[in-house]
Homo-oligomer: A and B are copies of this chain.
Amino acid sequence: MPAEPAARPTIYDVAQRAGVSKSLVSLVLRDAPHVSEARRRAVHEAIEELGYRPSRAASALASQRTRSVGVLIDDFRNPWFVELLAGLRSVLDPAGYTSSVADLTLEAVSGRNPVDGFLAMHVDGLVVAGEPQPGLLRGLAVPTVVAGVRDVGPGLAADVVAGDDERGGELATRHLLDLGHARIAHLTGSGGPAARRRRGYERTMRAAGLEPLVTGAGGTAEDDGYAAALAALDAAPGLTAFVAGNDVMAVGALAALREHGLSVPHDVSVVGYDDSPLAAYRYLALTSVAGHSHEVGAESATTLLARLGDPEAPRRRQLLEPSLVVRGSTAPP
């Protein structure tokens, strides 16, 4: 009955058990080169037998690095971040980095600055998923990648990985144009990506010799999509299609259309944006622009690791090409 020692074993315990010095154990842990196979194995066995797990706190304190990155999500309620997170981790985990996640909206409620929290944790780097409030990141010293948003304000030296929202707006609009629609309205949201999607829509409309019609209600939620759709229907009764700023707004538009007695896609076609799980529900079956969040996440991680390796490298900005997922909410007029 090997009485488990009450205290957690330390490298000293491991070292003693394996018959080596604590330094060697440390080397094995970080699997450094120039360690003989025999010792390495001995140390690993000792670790196994003692159930040893390194203390991150001690390691962080001594090395001044935590091998951890903080991920700031703009809103947990909007599930686009899930794939992005998966992509991030697919790169970060194998590289030995852990990631901790915080929600900006949640933190805002509790009145504390999430960035401060991460800095207190000594994260080695930061990934900001979504649009940061201006000023939040100003003058940040820690390497940062902004994921999903193309424009970061001035005062922040961050790398950027994002979907090409303007191209996405174009994709959605062209799909409707190709189906034969001409009276297409855009329901816009707030923020940088929304503005770019809008621009893509407008450019494509004009290129087709058509007059753009844009409505919005100030936000990006279902409510806003609903209100914007009503406004558009009011402004141009003969509409045959909507390009929504995102999937949630598209669902709001569906409600507005139903209220007007219009059926989708028979009377009016609707295109969403983000290709969220919402869009895939049979009952909604939204045609939607996919921003490839997984890849954005993976690329963000790669970029961050590169920057950690070389803080002086020139800033990078990458735009990933979106694609259109066609479902049941669009049809010829």
Chain A residues in contact with chain B, CB under 8 A?
A: 53-58, 60-61, 66, 76-77, 79, 81-82, 85-86, 89-90, 93, 98, 100-103, 106, 109-110, 112, 116-117, 119-122, 222, 226, 251-252, 254-255, 258, 277-278, 280-284
Contacts and interface: CB of A to CB of B under 8 A. Distances in A.
Given A86-B109, A117-B98, A258 B283 contact: yes
A164 to B, nearest CB: 25
Label chain A's interface by main secondary structure: helix
A251 B254 CA distance: 15
The 5 closest A-B pairs by CB, nearest first: A255-B282, A57-B60, A255-B283, A57-B61, A254-B283
Contact of A252 (B86, B258, B283): B283
A93 B79 contact: no
Given A57-B66, A100-B101, A106 B77 contact: no
Contacts of A109: 86, 89
A282 B76 contact: no
Contact of A106 (B58, B86, B277): B86
Contacts of A258: 283
A74 to B, nearest CB: 13
B76 A82 contact: yes
A252 B258 CA distance: 19
Contacts of A66: 57
B222 A281 contact: yes
